[in-house]
């Protein structure tokens, strides 16, 4: 049998040498081979549970995205499902490191290289859920309504995700990640320091309208570097800041989480590190601008700098008809002031917002 990797290469060759009718027939067969392969994979997966005399999963949760932030948000759904008595939960994600030590799930399965619900390995998980009468839940929020714009949520995205999983009642708006004592100890050197990220454009999905300005982040560092030490986390492609401990692209997700756990505070844009900081009880100052509102994706324990311009929240990804006024109106002085106010508070467990679905 031809491997899944080999089939696309052969199809490219056949497309150039065969009549279109013959090529389309072969293309259909290739599609069907994936279809049958996914059913076989689902059946084998089910048989493994039977032979090992292990209870079948009750819920399979799929984040629906390659971005680690969306997978981390699922930790809230897992917690709320567990609180309501759900057992044998499966998380389908390519970011298994986010769920190490998480007692809310029994299994973490890879989503594979593709994310199309019909053609990736996820299709086998869908069929496995059907075979064993489990529930398969795709955790989506803010769907695209046009090429460069998502639908603006009417409530917090964690509440939307919980609702999509069939959860009702009060839910806690926060994320969860569990570090070992060894991981915490290894990052104790970061205690009392301020973590900063200059850009989120190195992420899986690039959204210019979430980004503040690197020179203004530098202005924050310049204003406070004589009072507190800075550590820069993020992607290697993020603009470098001066006067900081440089760790762009040098840490794993869990190492970054341990640094945030020990740090005094995080400062950055809306994005993965914001959600990661919340998961490990690290207070944050977040430059929101106006692309989205804090009540839609943020946390009440943070200082969220939001611009309530008439067009906000627009949920546009990159386009803007107003020269990103919501971001340009926020200057370094505003962020420095928010940091100083946050520094007056003790580093205690963070407040948690509750929303009733």
- Give the architecture-level CATH label for domain 181-349: 3-Layer(aba) Sandwich (3.40)
User: Cβ neighbours of residue 184 under 8 Å, at least 6 residues apart?
Assistant: 258, 261, 262
Average pLDDT over residues 20-24: 64
What's the predicted TM-score (pTM) here?
0.88
| pLDDT given for residue 5 in this prediction | 36
Q: Is 45 left (phi over 0), alpha (psi -120 to 50) or beta?
A: alpha
- Domain positions in the chain are 1-51, 55-173, 181-349
The residue written with tokens 């207070």 in the block is 283
What's the half-sphere exposure (Cβ side, CA atoms, 13 Å) at 10?
11
| pLDDT given for residue 123 in this prediction | 81
Q: Contact, 299 vs 275, CB < 8 A? A: no
Percent of the chain with pLDDT over 90: 73
Q: How far is CA 206 from CA 175, 202, 209, 237, in A?
A: 22, 7, 9, 12
Q: Which two tokens stand for residue 337?
A: 């002031």
Give me the helices (H) in 112-202, please: 122-131, 157-164, 181-186
- In 10 A of CB 340, how many CB atoms? 13
* Class of residue 239 by CB neighbours under 10 A (exposed 0-12, middle 13-18, buried 19+): middle
| Identical topology for domains 55-173 and 181-349 | yes
Q: What class is the 55-173 domain?
A: alpha beta
CA pair distance 142, 145, nearest whole angstrom: 9
What are the tens digits of pLDDT across the range 43-100?
888 888 888 888 999 999 998 767 899 999 999 999 999 999 999 999 999 999 999 9
CA pair distance 309, 331, nearest whole angstrom: 15
**Nearest residue to 8 (alpha-carbon basis) of 20, 26, 22:** 26
| pLDDT given for residue 1 in this prediction | 32
Torsion of CA 329, 305, 318, 146, to 10 degrees: -120
CA pair distance 270, 155, nearest whole angstrom: 17
Paired strand residues for 138? 62
CA pair distance 255, 252, nearest whole angstrom: 5
Q: Treating both helix axes as pointing N-terminal to C-terminal, what angle do 20-51 and 6-17 enclose, rounded to 10 degrees? A: 170
What are the tens digits of pLDDT across the range 235-276?
999 999 999 999 999 999 999 999 999 999 999 999 999 999
What are the tens digits of pLDDT across the range 125-147?
888 999 889 999 988 899 999 99
CA pair distance 54, 42, nearest whole angstrom: 16
């Amino acid at each position: 049998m031809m491997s899944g990797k080999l089939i696309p290469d052969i199809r490219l060759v056949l497309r150039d040498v065969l009549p279109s009718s013959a090529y389309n027939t072969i293309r259909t067969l290739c599609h069907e081979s994936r279809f049958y392969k996914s059913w076989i994979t689902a059946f084998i997966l089910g048989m493994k549970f039977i032979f090992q005399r292990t209870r079948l999963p009750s819920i399979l949760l799929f984040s629906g995205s390659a971005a680690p932030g969306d997978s981390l948000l699922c930790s809230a759904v897992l917690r709320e499902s567990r609180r309501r008595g759900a057992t044998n939960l499966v998380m389908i994600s390519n970011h298994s490191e986010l769920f190490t030590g998480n007692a809310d799930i029994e299994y973490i399965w890879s989503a594979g290289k593709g994310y199309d619900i019909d053609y990736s390995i996820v299709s086998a998980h869908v069929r496995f859920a059907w075979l064993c009468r489990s529930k398969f839940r795709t955790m989506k929020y803010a769907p695209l309504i046009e090429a460069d714009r998502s639908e603006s949520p009417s409530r917090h995205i964690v509440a939307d995700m919980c609702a999509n999983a069939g959860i009702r009642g009060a839910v806690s708006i926060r994320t969860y990640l569990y570090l070992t004592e060894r991981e915490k100890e290894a990052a104790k050197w970061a205690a009392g320091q301020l973590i900063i990220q200059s850009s989120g454009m190195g992420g899986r999905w690039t959204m210019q309208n979430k980004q503040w300005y690197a020179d203004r982040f530098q202005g924050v560092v310049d204003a406070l570097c004589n009072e507190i030490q800075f550590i820069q986390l993020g992607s290697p492609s993020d603009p470098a800041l001066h006067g900081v401990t440089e760790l762009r692209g040098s840490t794993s997700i869990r190492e970054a989480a341990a640094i945030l756990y020990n740090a005094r505070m995080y400062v950055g844009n809306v994005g993965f590190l914001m959600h990661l900081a919340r998961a490990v009880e690290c207070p944050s100052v977040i430059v929101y601008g106006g692309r989205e509102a804090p009540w839609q994706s943020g946390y009440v324990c943070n200082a969220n700098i939001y611009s309530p311009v008439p067009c906000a929240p627009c949920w546009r990804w990159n386009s803007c008809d107003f020269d990103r006024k919501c971001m340009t109106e926020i200057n370094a002085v505003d962020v420095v002031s928010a940091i100083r106010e946050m520094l007056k508070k003790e580093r205690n467990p963070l407040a948690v917002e509750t929303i009733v679905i």
